[in-house]
């Protein structure tokens, strides 16, 4: 089973307009409200690809109820959230105009007893299950929460998947995560230097592998992706050609595609191809990748 955790899920209010002008009334051409959060996106794309998962984290208030309603009714995902008694899950505003602008809410306070309840849920994971931890940590949670979770579960032979930045990522390497997915900018940030070439990215990703990461998937936007496997292989592939419509969720879709491909085949090359296809399919659409979109793009990906 795959279990995804989103600590601070959201309702994303997505709007489109020709241009966004501050200090004025702006008229929209398009609007949509979707549940969001990196782990949630992973679960939705997994479901679209025919792979079951359980999505968890913390929800609160009327926005939290809508997040769960959408996941269950619209996306047919299995939910196992901890419902907080105070506050509301956050609302994020995604403005798509001549430039992309995001305004992200704070979210509710998460008390210690709620964190303990999450730990209790995670204790039920079994050997060879997958646990996806994705995204930033709200300021009111301990900044070592990822590390605490992996440390707690380290003896259970669970496949950890971590999509995070900076120290959040570095601090979990000793627990030998099955997969980490930095993008090229995040990898540059970790080493405090701009990494632009394929050789530079591979060289520095291999350092993270030496520190414990088993497989490293590096997303590069329109330049495609790189995969370093625990078998010692290094795979690269360009992104398929298409028009960028919405970058939100593309990286999460890549993680979901990779996991689905690996679960279906047990082959890293297939997983890599499906990961790139899923990430690109989401980037080329207003919505997250569907199975038909992913299958169509997979035919055009050359590793």
Strand partners, 12: 34, 92
Contacts of 220 (CB under 8 A, 6+ apart): 183, 184, 201, 226, 239
- Catalytic residue check, 80: no
How far is C-alpha 274 from the chain's CA centre?
15
Asked if 190 contacts 169 with a C-beta cutoff of 8 angstroms, the reply is: yes
Q: Helix %, strand %, coil % for the chain, to 5?
A: 40, 25, 40
How far apart are the C-alpha atoms of 31 and 95, rounded to whole Å?
Answer: 10
Q: DSSP string covering 69-119, please?
A: HIIIIIS--EE-PEEESSS--EEEEEEESSSEEEE--------HHHHHHHH
In the set 199, 233, 252, 267, the catalytic residue is: 252
Just list the catalytic residues.
252
């Amino acid at each position: 089973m795959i279990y995804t955790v989103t600590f601070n899920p959201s309702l994303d209010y997505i709007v489109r307009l020709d241009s966004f002008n501050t200090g004025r009334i702006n008229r929209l051409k398009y609007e949509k409200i979707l549940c969001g959060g990196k782990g949630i996106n992973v679960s939705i794309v997994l479901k679209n690809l025919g792979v079951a998962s359980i999505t968890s984290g913390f929800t609160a208030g009327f926005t939290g109820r809508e997040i769960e309603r959408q996941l269950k009714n619209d996306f047919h995902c299995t939910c196992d959230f901890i419902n907080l008694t105070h506050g509301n899950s956050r609302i994020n505003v995604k403005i798509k105009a001549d430039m992309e602008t995001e305004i992200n809410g704070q979210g509710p306070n998460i008390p210690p007893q709620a964190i303990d309840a999450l730990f209790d849920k995670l204790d039920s994971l079994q050997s060879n299950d997958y646990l996806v931890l994705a995204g930033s940590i709200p300021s009111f949670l301990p900044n070592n929460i990822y590390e605490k979770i992996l440390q707690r579960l380290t003896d259970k032979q669970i496949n950890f998947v971590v999509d995070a930045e900076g120290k959040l990522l570095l601090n979990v390497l000793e627990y030998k995560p099955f997969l980490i997915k930095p993008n090229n900018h995040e990898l540059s940030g970790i080493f405090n230097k701009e990494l632009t070439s394929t050789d530079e990215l591979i060289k520095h990703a291999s350092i993270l592998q030496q520190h414990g990461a088993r497989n490293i998937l590096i997303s590069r936007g329109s330049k495609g992706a790189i995969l370093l496997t625990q078998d010692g292989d290094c795979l690269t592939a360009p992104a398929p050609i298409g028009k960028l419509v919405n970058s939100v969720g593309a990286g999460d879709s890549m993680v979901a595609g990779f996991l689905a491909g690996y679960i279906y085949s047990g082959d890293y090359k297939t997983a890599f191809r499906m990961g790139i296809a899923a990430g690109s399919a989401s980037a080329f659409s207003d919505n997250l990748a569907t199975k038909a979109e992913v299958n169509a793009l997979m035919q055009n990906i050359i590793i």
